[in-house]
Homo-oligomer: A and B are copies of this chain.
Amino acid sequence: MLRIVQSALKARGVKVWTGHDHGINDKLRLADIAVALGGDGTMLRAARLLAPHSVPLLGVNSGGLGFLSGTDASEFKRYCDAILRGQFFLEERWMIEVEVQRRGRRIFGPNIALNDCVIRCADQARAISLRARSAERFVADYFGDGLIVSTPTGSTAYALAASGPIVDPSLDVLLIAPICPHTLTQRPLIIPASEPLSIRLTVRHPHDSAPKVLMSLDGQLGSSLQIDDEVRISRYERPFKLLLNPKRSYYEVLRRKLKWGER
């Protein structure tokens, strides 16, 4: 697939570097667009690399759901000229920036994520307590398997499995979805993304043994958490730029990939 894409681009006089080329990070500054070959995992990794440089990404899907892909290998050649002529739609998606504080010191981050920040207990049959605050106001205490803090882009990823709503990706909101809450009264919550969110790992009973808790960004990088650690989540300052096929709306992609609303 790499070869198809490369030769199609070179045939049109485009200078192509690959991720294996020497000094690729420096070259990102010179790039007009980046192309990622793979599935959604590849796209998520690419987003973290590209967003700081404002380089737009075209995803070429190879199997998997390919939610974020603009095209697939078989279509790539067909669309190549349209893409180079800028006829693909440039959609901005915002990302979250996350760091972890332990006793006043930063022990993780800041790192960025396109989909979500997941805080989850890794022990079997153990619930954890998490306290959410938005812009210094107390939001809620959560008790259960954990919590997903998701961008609109991430609302169709893991948050959907935790019964979260689907959120239009243009919206400037965060979705907080509890994972298997041990209370009958919890519900997903939509809050402004413009305000910093803090999630603190707390204890219900002072004598409880420490649970094993993991925080992960887009399921790809993360940190283990201790009691009283605070995960700070805010909107990342630069948008992630995504090249999408103008012929397919967000809702069409949902129907095709998720079978959303299908009978």
Contacts and interface: CB of A to CB of B under 8 A. Distances in A.
A204 B240 CA distance: 31
Contact of A190 (B167, B182, B214, B251): B167
A161 to B, nearest CB: 4
- Total identical chains: 4
Contacts of A168: 173, 189-192
Interface string A171-213: 1010100011111111111111000000000000000000000
A125 to B, nearest CB: 2
Nearest to A257: B263
B187 A165 contact: yes
A139 interface: yes
Contacts of A126: 219
Interface string A129-145: 00000000111111111
Given A124-B222, A185-B258, A185-B259, A161 B145 contact: yes
A164 interface: yes
Nearest to A137: B249
Contacts of A175: 165
Given A118-B124, A125-B219, A141-B261, A184 B160 contact: yes
A168, A192, A216, A261 — which one has the most chain B CB atoms within 10 A of its CB? A261
A162 interface: yes
A170 interface: yes
23 contacts: A118-B125, A120-B124, A125-B218, A126-B219, A137-B251, A138-B249, A140-B255, A140-B261, A141-B261, A144-B161, A158-B180, A160-B182, A160-B187, A161-B180, A165-B188, A179-B180, A180-B180, A182-B263, A184-B184, A184-B187, A185-B258, A186-B260, A259-B263
